[in-house]
Amino acid sequence: MHIKTNDTVEVIAGDDKGLKKKVLLIDRDKGRVTIEGVNLVYKHVRRSQKNPQGGRLSKEMPIQLSNVLLVCNRCNQGVRTGARLTKDGGKERYCKKCGTGLGPIGPSKKK
């Protein structure tokens, strides 16, 4: 899984197809990701001291991880990613289209 929180991703399936937004939360066990402003639903809230008005709150719900692609800074579009070793022994993500590094995956190995 090559997506982290605060990454910019592009939605490639569903009602919000084509949107490029920031990742808020990842559930690795279920393979789902919550993205800012994507897959909005209404949660009905009863009147209480905390919510004296009551009504409907809009909130993001998670979508399948397979429905998003990481956005490459150089290509400026959703791309497939791979993992490769760096010169210092660590791993990094890279864009399979242009070859640009997209940030480290793990720490570098110390000798």
Instruction: Give the pLDDT score at 12.
Output: 94
**How many angstroms separate the CA atoms of 45 and 59, rounded?**
12
For the purposes of burial, counting CB atoms within 10 Å of the CB of 39, is it exposed (0-12), middle (13-18) or buried (19 or more)?
middle
Instruction: Give the pLDDT score at 72.
Output: 92
Paired tokens of 21: 């937004």
Class of CATH domain 1-71: mainly beta
Largest interatomic CA distance in the chain: 61
Instruction: Give the pLDDT score at 94.
Output: 93
Instruction: Count Cα atoms within 13 angstroms, Cβ side, for 29.
Output: 0
pTM listed for this prediction? 0.81
Ordered by start, the domain boundaries in the chain are 1-71, 74-111
Instruction: Give the pLDDT score at 87.
Output: 86
pLDDT in tens, the chain (111 residues): 689 999 999 999 999 999 999 999 999 999 999 999 999 999 999 999 988 998 998 999 999 999 999 999 898 998 999 999 988 888 899 999 998 988 888 777 765
36: region left, alpha or beta (phi > 0 left; psi from -120 to 50 alpha): beta
**How many angstroms separate the CA atoms of 78 and 75, rounded?**
8
